[in-house]
Amino acid sequence: MQFITKISSPLKVMFLGTLFALFLTACGSDPTATPRPTNTPAPEPTPTATLAPGVPTPTPAPPTPTPTRAPTPTPVPDLKELARDHFTGKTITVVVGYGAGGGQDNNARKTAKYLGNYIPGNPRVIVQNKDGADNLLAGQTAWARPSNGLTIVLINNVRTQNQAIAGRPETGFNLFEATYLGNVQISTPGSSATLCARGDIATDLASMLAKADELGRPLRAGVFRAGSWGEILPKYFDIPVKPVPGFTGTATILQGIDQGELEVLVDACTYDQLSRLRPDWIEAGDTIYPIFNHQGKDLKPASSMYEIAGWDYPPNLEDAMDLTDFQTRLLAVARSMGGIVTHPWVIKADTPDFIQQTLLSALEAVTTDPGFVADMAAATRVAGFTPGEEYANYRDSVADAAAGDLAQAVRDFAGIVD
């Protein structure tokens, strides 16, 4: 300290300043003065554009949609695979409303022979006979079973007529909730319902009327169902025949002629039935004689039968007798009701769709099978597919026919008993 005090004042100041600077450096301080912060001026706001009056506000462009991946479609079950799983190892029963040996029984058995070949899984197909109440028992039998396509029923058109005209189903059988699959045959050309008399009874209408007068009673005609021509010919056309019930089908009616129990035929005397069931009558030529053609179809395609038998073509009913206006209209309605091939194949409408489609396709396929076509031809029937829609339309049209002054007569033809 004595040293410092002895230094002159100016040198002392310099010495002390240098000493102080060295002290600050040793302590790590920055001797450079920190500059003052500069005041930065705030930016001026950008003016917002204002639209001129009357100019519409532009619609902003929609945002670009974000692409999304399409959902993976659910696989559709293959119809054939579903059918194969369902029908493999199963048995399909075809219910027929007549006894064995009749026309529809033969049709069913010929079809059953081939039907399983066209159904995936190749189920066995059998025929069950349930005659009674003109097919009603057969329908009730089918409707009492599950809706699984394992029961099909052949139904006489009279069942469709009855329900359509009554506007309600029958007990245990509802054709308003049915699927008509179709039919395996089409109308046989030349096959028309003709009234025929036993040869020892009459050979034409005049001798038939004379025989009834001689006997003092109507002539016996076998029937296997209520209604039809056996009902309306005596009641509305004054033809002297009396329907005798209790027969189970065409075959048994023809037996009744052979046995002398019956004298005339009103429903069972057609080309396809006679040529198939009783060709011996045709060859004999005098067992029966055609009296008149009430169904009115062209008989010329059946010319071979008439030539072999030596018969003349019978007149149509309207040509054999003078008809009133009422009779003419009734005849037209009856012919239309009998105009479609009878006995379509039917299942319950609540049967799963894939089963319905499988059975329909199989039934149609059978009608083109060469073996089936040959079998039908041997029975003088024509194989061919009649679509189910025709029967559904027929059901609806029958209801329209039963109106006005024909209402009761049409109900009688359908076999409806009040």
Other CB atoms within a 10 A radius of the CB of residue 29 amount to 9
Select from 3.40.50.300, 2.60.40.1180, 1.10.540.10, 3.40.190.10 the CATH code of 194-337.
3.40.190.10
What is the mean pLDDT, run by run of 10 residues, along the chain of 418 residues? 42 40 41 44 47 50 51 66 97 93 88 97 97 90 98 91 88 95 86 92 97 97 84 94 88 93 90 86 95 93 92 95 95 83 92 97 97 91 91 82 84 79
3-state per-residue secondary structure call for 129-187: ECCCHHHHHHHHHHHCCCCCCCEEEECCHHHHHHHHHHCCCECCECHHHEEEEEEEEEC
CATH superfamily of 81-187+340-414: Bordetella uptake gene, domain 1 (3.40.190.150)
182 forms beta bridges with 345, 387
Here the tokens at position 8 are 């002159």
- What is the C-alpha separation between 325 and 272, in angstroms, rounded? 32
Contact call for residues 134 and 415 (beta carbons, < 8 A):
yes
Q: Which two tokens mark 17? A: 């300043």
**Residue 295 to residues 70, 193, 222, 227, 340, Cα–Cα distance (Å):** 63, 5, 18, 15, 12
CB crowding 264-282: b at 16 or more within 10 Å, else e? bbbbbbbbbbbbbbbeebb
Can you read off the two tokens belonging to residue 346?
């039917």
What are the boundaries of each domain within the chain? Answer: 81-187+340-414, 194-337
For the segment 272-288, what is each residue's pLDDT rounded down to a tens digit?
Answer: 788 888 999 999 999 99
Tokens of residue 18, six digits: 């240098």
The answer to whether the CB of 288 falls within 8 A of the CB of 196 is yes
Contact call for residues 134 and 126 (beta carbons, < 8 A)? no
pLDDT digits (tens, 9 = 90+) for 60-117: 555 554 544 545 555 556 889 999 999 999 999 999 998 888 778 989 999 999 999 9
Contacting residues for 91 by C-beta, under 8 A, at least 6 apart = 123, 124, 125, 126, 150
